Amino acid sequence: MNESLVQTIGIIAGTLTTLAFLPQVIKTWRSRSVADISLAWACSMVVGIFCWLVYGLMLGEMPIIVANLASLTLALMMLAMKLRFSRK
Range scoring the smallest mean pLDDT among 33-37, 44-48, 79-83: 33-37
How far is 34 from 12, CA to CA, in rounded Å?
A: 29
| Domains of the chain from N-terminus onward | 38-88 (1.20.1280.290)
What pLDDT is stored for residue 26 in this prediction?
Answer: 94
Q: What is the pTM of this model?
A: 0.88
The tens digit of pLDDT for each residue in 39-62 reads 999 999 999 999 999 999 999 998
pLDDT-derived band at 88, boundaries 50, 70, 90: low
